[in-house]
């Protein structure tokens, strides 16, 4: 039986993200796994991910880095707590900060490889560095600060019946943590 990706363990109520939600039929549905101390994700861009002929558009690159990092954060927190992914309570992360450096044009006709490395876990925040390469050439580098969703957010989403694009009108700030 194949290994399950980090994103396959997300509860249904928080599995609709365009980048990593397994329940978003129109989404990217990326899959991230451990490769030793690093996380890895492979993704093949489609022709409609074009910026210029032959090259991937930057928004896709940012989305891949973002979602790979939040998945890595969830998996890293599970490892830190010596818990199997998928155990209760769920540990789901959202992006607090995303910085992407575009280093070289990214070809569209190949599989992209993302590699994540946890820099720091502090309270509910996990800092992850991600590289994106094509054919062994580094194309982009990202830094993401991911914040663990409070357990009551998952419950709120369940109560609102979140089965679509998100919780309408929800721009409330996540509580700070240390």
pLDDT digits (tens, 9 = 90+) for 130-153: 999 999 999 999 999 999 998 777
Q: Does some domain include residue 141?
A: yes
pTM over 0.85: yes
C-alpha to C-alpha distance for 154 and 99, rounded to whole angstroms: 26
In this structure, the strands spanning 38-43 and 93-102 are unpaired
Q: Does some domain include residue 121?
A: yes
Overall number of domains in the chain? 1
Q: Does some domain include residue 171?
A: no
Structural domain of residue 101, as residue ranges? 6-159
Residue range 43-82, pLDDT digits in tens: 999 999 999 999 999 999 999 999 999 999 999 999 999 9
The pLDDT-based confidence of 85 (bands split at 50, 70, 90) is very high
The one-character DSSP state at 13 is G
Residues in the chain: 178
The CATH code of the domain that includes 94 is 3.10.129.10
Tell whether omega for the bond before 165 is within 30 degrees of 0, i.e. cis.
no
């Amino acid at each position: 039986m194949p290994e399950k990706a980090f994103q396959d363990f997300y509860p249904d109520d928080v599995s609709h993200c365009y980048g990593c939600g397994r329940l978003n039929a129109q989404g990217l549905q990326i899959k991230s796994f451990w490769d030793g101390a690093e996380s890895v994700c492979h993704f093949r861009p489609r022709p409609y991910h074009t910026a210029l002929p032959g090259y991937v558009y930057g928004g896709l690159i940012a989305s891949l880095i973002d979602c790979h990092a939040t998945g890595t954060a969830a998996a890293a927190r599970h490892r830190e707590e010596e818990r199997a992914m998928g155990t209760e309570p769920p540990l789901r992360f959202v992006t607090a900060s995303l910085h992407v450096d575009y280093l070289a044009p990214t070809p569209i006709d190949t599989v992209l490889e993302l590699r994540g490395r946890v820099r720091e876990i502090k309270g509910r925040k996990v800092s992850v560095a991600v590289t994106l390469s094509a054919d062994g050439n580094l194309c982009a580098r990202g830094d993401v600060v991911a914040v663990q969703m409070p357990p009551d957010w998952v419950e709120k989403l369940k109560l609102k019946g979140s089965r679509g694009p998100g919780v309408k009108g929800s721009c409330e700030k996540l509580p700070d943590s240390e």
